[in-house]
Structure 1
Amino acid sequence: MAMTVELPALEQTDARTDAMTPPASSARLARYARPALGLLLPVGIAIVWEIVVWLGLSSGRLVPPPTKIFATIMELAKSGELSRHIIATLSRVGVGFGLGVVAGTLLGAVSGYWDLARRLLDPTVQALRAIPSLAWVPLFILWLGIFETSKVALIAAGVFFPVYLGVMGAILSVDRKIVEVGRTFRLSGPAMIRRILLPAALPAYVVALRVGLGLGWMFVVAAELMGASEGLGYLLLDGQQLGKPAQILAAIVIFAILGKATDWLIEIATAPLLRWQDAFGRQSGGS
């Protein structure tokens, strides 16, 4: 008798679950459609400005239409200049980002885990963090010369501070109850870091990496104003000196594409490490 009563209820529950589960094709379509939504705003603005210039409502001299910017990018690509500038900028950002991440992670972890180190290091680091990026330029040129070393050092300095602050803040914000559980199980210092502090701090660390990468792209412009003969920052300066607004905007567009692409790579690379999260962004289908 119990079976005859429970079976229909189970069948109704399964039917409701199947009805609520979206088909696989719809899920795939939604997964590809979400990134495309981010293109609506920039593409919409570009189309509107193209129409405005085409109708003669603006001359487009200072802000060229998208077709002219695209033509400038194609000219630079055909001449081989574009690839040379992109490779130079990417290499500087890559090396500077790597050095800044290593230094920021190590010092941030030490300051977050060890109270004495935080009292010694953090006031100085926070004071240095308030110094504008351009203020470092003459000092780095004086110390390291005008070539690649000073440029990479400036980018590394820009990446270091958000990574340091993110790592230290993430460790300090770990729930005390979780740490007490580790102490109850008598975990050693390395085991406490590996099994409790590192997983708990990882989401904030990923955010710090993305913020650091964004500042690395900002600092590379200042770095490439330091006597560079190639790079997207040099392309900006060259366009300004020669009065070529299309070239300036072309460099800005390429900066935006490269910055978003590298940020997306970090997001993709770290996604497997954050699958355990039961966060609101994942529930609502975040980016």
Structure 2
Amino acid sequence: MPQNRSFQHRIGATRWLSPVVLLAVWEAASRLGVIPERTLAAPSSVIKSLVQMITSGELAENLVVSFWRVALGLTIGVSIGVVLALVAGLSRRGEYAIDPIIQIKRTIPALALTPLFIVWFGIGETPKVALIAFASIFPVYLNLYGGIRGVDVRLVESARSFGLSRLEQIWHVILPGALPSLLVGLRYSLSIAILMLVVAEQVNASAGLGYLVNNARDFMRTDIIVVCLLVYAALGLGADALVRAIEDRALAWRPKLIAEA
């Protein structure tokens, strides 16, 4: 057993070898002038800029703005997606009324709506939040709708035979059965929300990570651009980790197929 753990530790350390080598090559190429600073700043310059932006509070201030944009848009989009999926999944009439419209709108790329949202809502905060909300609806809707329709009919029939009302069947049988699908949809929505945040903040932003990127682009500060890209990546990883934590607690009843070593 100790030998197996030692082997796993060596494998884990080996996984970090290629990123470290890549950073070393990147740093060396930058110092030797192979990669000009205006093309891509060296890792040391990126780290220095990151520290400066943290100590000055500039990064934190703009990060809070971006966080609230994505949080508000995601909350609106996920809420709408859940409600529509429940109506369409639990009612045949709801399916006929909602699902065709959703399927039509799903084929429209959210990015293509950016000019239209600017015409409708101006260039303030509303179009940014609306873009994130619109793109976040469909993953939640599609996965929850599929999860509801995928619940084993025998479980519903068993609940009915035990005398459970329709509302009790939904609460105790259908929704728990569809919960894994809902969490999958939420993970997709989080990823898409971060992606849409990057696009939305390019539209006349006066604060936020996109504002920092635009300013850095104008002054050829590739170090700041890389810092902002790293923060976007950290937001995505943090959001995914949050959903995983929720999934572990909410689905603790589900047996794990892969045993832990």
TM over 0.5: yes
Deviation at 1:96, TM superposition (A): 0.8
Q: Residue by residue, what CA displacement relative to the aligned partner does 1:243-279 show, whole Å, maximum 9, x if unpaired?
A: 2222211110011012111221222133211111113
- Match among 124, 138, 141 for residue 164 of structure 1: 141
- Match among 34, 48, 62 for residue 58 of structure 1: 34
Point out the more displaced range, 252-261 or 231-240.
231-240
Q: SS of 1:229's equivalent?
A: coil
2:257 corresponds to 1:280: yes
Q: Distance in 2 between matches of 1:226 and 1:146?
A: 7
Q: SS of 2:182's equivalent?
A: helix
Match of 2:73 in 1: 96
Question: Which residue type is aligned with residue 185 of structure 1?
Answer: F
2:126 corresponds to 1:149: yes
2:57 corresponds to 1:80: yes
Structure 1 contact 133–222 (Cα < 8 Å) conserved: no
2:253 corresponds to 1:269: no
Q: Distance in 2 between matches of 1:223 and 1:35?
A: 37
Q: Distance in 2 between matches of 1:272 and 1:104?
A: 22
Point out the more displaced range, 103-112 or 268-277.
268-277
TM-score (norm 1): 0.80
Q: Distance in 2 between matches of 1:224 and 1:69?
A: 21
Match of 1:226 in 2: 203
Match of 1:201 in 2: 178
Q: SS of 2:167's equivalent?
A: helix
- Match among 179, 184, 194 for residue 217 of structure 1: 194
Deviation at 1:41, TM superposition (A): 5.9
Q: Residue by residue, what CA displacement relative to the aligned partner does 1:62-82 show, whole Å, maximum 9, x if unpaired?
A: 232321111121222233221
Q: 1:152 to 1:143 in 2, by over 3 A?
A: same
Q: Distance in 2 between matches of 1:144 and 1:157?
A: 14
Q: 1:171 to 1:143 in 2, by over 3 A?
A: same
- Match among 110, 117, 135 for residue 94 of structure 2: 117
Structure 2 contact 159–169 (Cα < 8 Å) conserved: yes
Q: 1:51 to 1:85 in 2, by over 3 A?
A: same
Q: Distance in 1 between matches of 2:136 and 2:13?
A: 29
Structure 1 contact 167–201 (Cα < 8 Å) conserved: yes
TM-score (norm 2): 0.87
Q: Residue by residue, what CA displacement relative to the aligned partner does 1:144-172 show, whole Å, maximum 9, x if unpaired?
A: 22211221111111111111111101111
RMSD (Å), alpha carbons: 2.6
Q: 1:57 to 1:81 in 2, by over 3 A?
A: closer
Q: Distance in 2 between matches of 1:277 and 1:42?
A: 35
Structure 2 contact 159–173 (Cα < 8 Å) conserved: yes
Q: Residue by residue, what CA displacement relative to the aligned partner does 1:116-165 show, whole Å, maximum 9, x if unpaired?
A: 21122112112212222222212222222221122111111111111111
Match of 1:7 in 2: none
Match of 1:12 in 2: none
Gaps of 5+ in 1: 1-19
Identity of aligned residues (%): 35
Aligned residues: 256
2:231 corresponds to 1:254: yes
Q: 1:248 to 1:192 in 2, by over 3 A?
A: same
